[in-house]
Amino acid sequence: MFKDNWIQALADFEAKGTPCVMVTVLEDKGSVPRGAGTKMLVTENEVIATIGGGHLEHVAMKAAQEMLTHGDSEMKIERFNLGARLGQCCGGIVTLSFEPIGQQRHILALFGAGHVAKALVHILATLPFKVIWIDEREAQFPAQIPDNVEMLLTDDPVGEVASLPANSMYLVLTHNHQLDFDLSRAILKRGDSRYFGLIGSLSKRKRFDYRLKERGFNDDAINTMICPIGIEAVKGKHPAEIAVSVAGELIACYQGEHISSKREHTPQKRAEKLSILNTEPSENQNNKNNEKIRA
């Protein structure tokens, strides 16, 4: 006896903003595990109800999870020959639809609960993010947090890096430079960040670059770290201004734009720039030439 409890689960997913794919048996021919109209819900890490089990269900689950990973929004329909294609003894033919429900959320691990982070989470509440907000100081978290934000109080923020989902986005805004560095090492060691931003100046960037190289990280790894963070055109030091700038950069990232590491120019590029400047006539020289022409 199958237990089809997907209706309540779908309501819960919608309330929590959890994206899922509804897999439906549209058509069945011959001997099949379950008939037309049967439904199953698939999230990133959970399956609700069943379309009959076996290899068909396994393949359908993987296909649905790939749609979630890629952020697909269009329904797909696929036909399965259970005997020839999947090796199931029942041997019938099943047509399945895969319908994405809910907006895919981008997972952001936000380290630090200071003024900039507090301003930022209010902006992220209006965007397709699932924020894991991490700090070891309980008093720093506000009493009310947005629905798409999960507060994680821990004595070991660095240790939490290993347990985060693959291809997460990371933003390090802590109050402690050494903690920033330890988090940077842990994030770079994972090597699978979709975005990794570290608050700080170019001077801080240079110090971290040097220390990371001393610990064996190469330029390719270090270049995945964005520091300073935020859209360069947005100036200002107020927490809200920084938050808007950083939110813009996060949006650009999930929209597929390339985000530069913002490291200083290499010596070769600086030399080329100086060479160009030296070959350009100065304003004073131009004025002297103009005077000679008029004379």
Residue 17, pLDDT above cutoff 80 = no
- pLDDT above 90 covers a percentage of the chain that reads 57
**Would you state the structure tokens that stand for residue 280, as one six-digit string?**
């350009």
Residue 294, pLDDT above cutoff 50 = no
More confident site: 210 or 30? 210
H/E element holding 78? Answer: strand 76-81
The answer to whether 108 and 168 have CB atoms below 8 angstroms apart is yes
What CA–CA distance (Å, rounded) separates 91 from 87?
8
What CA–CA distance (Å, rounded) separates 221 from 115?
29
3-class DSSP state of 93: strand
Q: What is the overall mean pLDDT for the chain?
A: 85
Confidence of residue 151 (pLDDT cuts 50, 70, 90): very high
3-class DSSP state of 283: helix
Nearest to 163 by CA among 136, 190, 131, 145: 190
Mean pLDDT to the nearest integer, 269-291 = 44
Residue 73, pLDDT above cutoff 60 = yes
Residue 87, pLDDT above cutoff 60 = no
Residue 191, pLDDT above cutoff 60 = yes
Residue 89, pLDDT above cutoff 80 = no
Residue 260 pLDDT: 84
What CA–CA distance (Å, rounded) separates 112 from 172?
7
Residue 164 pLDDT: 92
Q: Is the pTM of this model over 0.85?
A: no
Neighbours of 267 (CB within 10 A): 8
Residue 271 pLDDT: 44
More confident site: 12 or 176? 176
Residue 31, pLDDT above cutoff 80 = no
Confidence of residue 210 (pLDDT cuts 50, 70, 90): very high
pLDDT tens string 194-204: 999 999 999 99
Confidence of residue 292 (pLDDT cuts 50, 70, 90): very low
Residue keyed to tokens 């988090």: 183
pLDDT tens string 113-147: 999 999 999 999 999 898 999 999 999 999 999 98
More confident site: 252 or 272? 252
What CA–CA distance (Å, rounded) separates 53 from 44?
18
**Would you state the structure tokens that stand for residue 191, as one six-digit string?**
């090597």
Residue 270 pLDDT: 43
